[in-house]
Amino acid sequence: MLNILLVEDDEALSSAIREKLLDEGFSVSCAFDGKQAAEALDEAHFDLIISDVMMPKMDGFELSRYVRRDGKSQPILIITAKSEIEDMQTGFKSGADDYMSKPINLKELVLRVHALLRRAKIANEKRLLIGGSELDYDTLSVRTEGERISLAPKEFRLLFLLLSYAGRIFTRFEIMSEIWGYETDSDERVVDTHVKKLRAKFENSKDFEIITVRGLGYKAVKKERA
């Protein structure tokens, strides 16, 4: 079970978020200010941190800097009542990975949590072996049948995402959110374009193929080698 540290001084909002995350199958620990959160992080491992910004004793930005100075790499999702671009920039510079403005949509929060955890898993793995094909995150390339195929960054991240969760259907919205970001101005058709490019480059792959699930999105399927 994945562990989440929720840092929010508004007890009603903390309770609502906690219940939603528990329903999603996460283990949730709550802190009500940055100092409590720092103490919790010193005592236990958490896979993800959700933190408000405006809190007593230590705010969310300070907490993010504390986490990164301590060498911890788990994703941090910042929640704040502020939506100005300067505050977003401060959040990202302090070490946060994503940013949500209040009022919080709990369904969107859950989507972002799952996306951050998937990105963290991918970033930590670095390499992925599918049959005779090896994906190398550092070089953005795939070695297959003795050939190394280099990919554009978004092509590689899309392929790595699909193959990391082979068999799972990803909607275009999920792919857009994870690869292009929630704030992108790009149209969802850009996903179709990238899938088309990947299919062309790996049309003869003996290890995997990308399947269109009509009306939903895409999934990668592993092939059984003869």
Q: How high is the pLDDT of residue 168?
A: 94
Q: How high is the pLDDT of residue 208?
A: 96
Positive or negative, the CA dihedral 115, 120, 123, 125 is negative
Say which CATH class 3-121 falls into: alpha beta
Low-confidence ranges of the chain (pLDDT < 50): none
Q: How high is the pLDDT of residue 84?
A: 64
Q: How high is the pLDDT of residue 226?
A: 59
Q: How high is the pLDDT of residue 182?
A: 62
In Å, how far are 46, 66, 81, 170, 194 from 10, measured between CA atoms?
21, 22, 12, 34, 42
Range(s) of the chain covered by CATH 1.10.10.10: 126-222
For the chain, how long is the longest CA-to-CA vector? 62
> The tokens of 98 are what?
């994503």
pLDDT, tens digit (0-9, with 9 covering 90-100), for 36-88: 999 999 899 899 999 999 888 889 999 999 999 888 889 999 998 766 667 77
> Cα 122 vs. chain centroid, distance in angstroms?
9
Hey, which CATH number is domain 126-222, 1.10.10.10, 3.50.30.60, 1.10.10.1100, 3.40.1190.20?
A: 1.10.10.10
Centre a 10 Å sphere on the Cβ of residue 129 and count the other Cβ atoms it contains.
Answer: 11
Range(s) of the chain covered by CATH 3.40.50.2300: 3-121
Q: How high is the pLDDT of residue 106?
A: 96
